[in-house]
Amino acid sequence: MALIQISNQSSKTQGKKSTIRFTQSICPDCNMILDAEVFEREGKVFMSKVCPTHGETEELYFGSYDMYKKFSTYWVDGKGAHAPNVIMEDKCSCPNNCGLCSNHLSHSGLANMIVTNRCDLTCWYCFFYVKKGLEGAYMYEPNHDQVRGMMKTLRSERPIPGNSMQITGGEPMLREDIADLIKIMKEEGVEHIQMNTNGIRHAMDPEAGREVRMAGCNNLYLSFDGVTARTNPKNHWEIPYALDTCRKTGTTVVFVPTVIKSINDHELGGIIRYAQKNLDVVHAVNFQPVSLTGRMGKSEREKYRITVPDCIQRIEEQTEGQVTVDDWYPVPSCMPLTNVIEAFSSKPKYELSIHFACGAGAYVFQDADTKKLVPMTRFCDIQGMLELFEDKAEQIRSGANKYFTMLEVVRKLKGFINKENQPAGLDLAKMFGNILMKRSFEAVGFMARQRSILRNDALPRQIQ
């Protein structure tokens, strides 16, 4: 296997007055690994790198420096990961051929398995489909034994055995044996299974939707790019029927809009409102800013590129301030909750330790009377609660009685919640207490049934 060439600049790029830090990146033309500078300019965060062959490349990295500073306070290294049958080689070239190398500081939070590269659509921004008759094209579909082998590898990962799987493609529902694959995953001990899908087969063939639900698929990760046929031509007409199938089969749904500047970034508020109308089945919206890959020109990259803060700012504008930029926290902000549960259990626990710039989330409830969105920050001191979790985790690690300490955590939860502002019918302290005491997917699932999560991830669909 050919390795990616690495360029070590003896003198790192200087001249930017507001340098934040130095890191590594790759050349968009030749994939050479380069030193890179992350810097602030005019309230935004950019990245610059210099390739000896293709020159300097400067890209918008994070659309708000203020948000970058806030999110960076939650930066933490995770446990890392390894699997017994994956060899760690010192001479690997991350990210070209490394697998689970020592540079990976987080375990598999949500593993992805490609079960096919076939698709019944040809979305203009997607790079992941096979076109019949195209020279060099091939079909990839692992058989049952291969799927079982991959599940064993996932479950053998340490220190946290993989327990959550996303089936993706291509379009997974094109496989007639998709229910059998899901059963294999369940047999191998995977607890949470969700499917990345366009929902067309769920709309056209409700029985197929019932079969995958009965096989063990908990959730649909449903592509939904907008509320009009213009922004979402791929499944605009099918979405209501797909949701109806999910309703009848007890399948929960996460809307997954691929957000592209100048294409659908004006409909983020509309997507949230449509999720509200279907709150009985849609439990989250996961906005994914498009990732620009391949040899796209700079002008096109600037036309389509949108970052996590850009999406968050548009959501505030398009929800008339019901969800503001201050309501969002980066994914690793939940680490203190993991830490206190881990300290109590005395064994490694599932954690979300991804880089702070990779995604953000906001827990949002709907007021039963006004139908307005009520972010959790309106009635809960989230920062205070996180500090409590971290403090009590340290006390347990230092030898305090873990049972008394955990009871104290549960008792103090009510002090962080303003009951006057808490939506009617909601008991957040009880919900968190349930999670702390049960420490299971079922407990988190109960919370999911009570709210909607808005998420913004930099792990998206791609334009080549």
pLDDT of residue 100: 73
CB burial of residue 347 (10 Å; 0-12, 13-18, 19+): exposed
Token pair for residue 63?
């659309």
Spans in the chain with pLDDT lower than 70: 1-17, 84-93, 97-99, 129-136, 294-295, 439-464
pLDDT of residue 135: 56
d(CA 346, CA 406): 13
pLDDT of residue 13: 44
d(CA 313, CA 138): 41
Give me the torsion for CA of 263, 331, 74, 319, rounded to 10°.
Answer: 50
pLDDT over 70 percentage in the chain: 85
Evaluate whether 129 touches 117 at the Cβ level (below 8 Å): yes
d(CA 361, CA 253): 17
Query: 């995977």: which residue's tokens?
Result: 190
Token pair for residue 174?
């094109």
pLDDT of residue 87: 65
pLDDT of residue 464: 32
d(CA 6, CA 424): 57
Reported as a single tens digit per residue, the pLDDT across 131-140 is: 655 655 788 9
pLDDT of residue 132: 56
pLDDT of residue 453: 60
Token pair for residue 216?
């063990």
- Closest by Cα among 341, 295, 286, 313 to 457: 286
Q: Which residues pair with 60 in a beta bridge?
A: 46
pLDDT of residue 231: 97
Reported as a single tens digit per residue, the pLDDT across 33-72 is: 999 999 999 999 999 999 999 999 999 999 999 999 999 9
Q: Is the torsion defined by CA of 120, 124, 128, 131 positive or negative?
A: positive
pLDDT of residue 299: 85
d(CA 130, CA 188): 29
Evaluate whether 343 touches 390 at the Cβ level (below 8 Å): no
